[in-house]
Structure 1
Amino acid sequence: MAKQVGYARVSTRDQNLDLQLDALRNAGVPDELIFRDIYSGAKEARPGMHAAIAAVEKGDTLVVWRLDRLGRNTRQLISTAEDLKGRGVAIRSLTEGIETGGSMGRLVYTILSGIAELEREVIIERTVAGMKAARQRGTRIGRSEKMTRDRTIEAVRMLAEGKGWKPTAELFSVSTGTLSGAIQRHGLSEQLVRLRNEEAVDRRMMRRQQSSIGL
């Protein structure tokens, strides 16, 4: 028999889960099937989310107070939603009044994919604008010792979004070898691989959603 499983999350221990828990209970989710997390958005570990996902089966519905409870960013949200969809599990958001198992489900996924794409473009635009502004101020950018961890993370994000190594390196006024060395030096090689994999998943999902609605 299909069931509802609830998930609630707050970002810090100073925040209270009561509002979300009450909403889930009022929606008919039994206490024993409500899972929760209290964690910083910068952390990857989400034991409550993992337990909730493990508890749902085909035909079930994962209920949340708001869609953003499913991830700390749009990419994570979409990844979770895609995983659940592939398993035949619907998502129900109480605040937005959305249920992906309904007739509007495909539209919801298409909108989320569009938002994720917009976020990627904004990240790239802000990075490029910041580099140009720094050059105009006379700031020297790009010497190997200037490839700080923060700047290298920006470069990793751009590479993950599909920008080539040479164009990315040129934005930071370094060679591709220097950029590669900075990524290794700051221990970001695995992060680059992971982000590229997530990017590939996002693009495949977007293509499927667009194809399903005839775009």
Structure 2
Amino acid sequence: MNTKAATPTQTGALVGLARVSTDDQDLQLQLDALTAAGCIRIFDEKVSTRKKDRPGLAAALDYLRPGDTLVVWKLDRLGRSTKDVLIIAEDLHDQGIGLKILTGRLAGNYSPTGEGKFFFTMMAAFAELERDIIRERTIAGVQAARDRGQRLGRPPAMTPEQVEHARTLLTNPKNTVSSIARLLNVSRATIYKYVPELTQAPAAAAEELTA
């Protein structure tokens, strides 16, 4: 569906807002897109929208002036819930500031008034609904896998066969934990984890443990 929202008259500057939820995520994709869109200033933040304190958004709102347009890469960079997004959008409108979304189904310019407000509300609601559906499908998929007896999460570092092989090799005093770890392509720590009796072994394996 390609629904056009009312487009505000832009008389001022484009100001960008980039956000990721954790320090492990990279802002560069958003920064590049916002720069290419013509933003003269970009504010960024690394914080979950579930937290009330959003310094990047607060700084952007303080910087924006009537006639300016706030630009985000995608709607979920502005807020995670329909309520939050609409509160921010209403605040922008009250100040005479437009909103532009660069990517996703909701890409375009929005003015949260009249027809534009109606479509913006519906689209924000659809975006939240889509997140909920994805989350429910993920939960259902995990439960179905458990019901089938599938092991979830990371696979074990050593299979039962490798553990047994390691124990057999360790019966030979010429074999060390390091040499067996190299043979099985695992770390010494992994050997000790899966063969815990080594902590009491008095032979070469024990010597390596205390080395």
Q: TM-score, normalised by structure 2?
A: 0.49
Larger Rg: 2
Name the structure with the higher helix share.
Answer: 1
Q: TM-score, normalised by structure 1?
A: 0.49
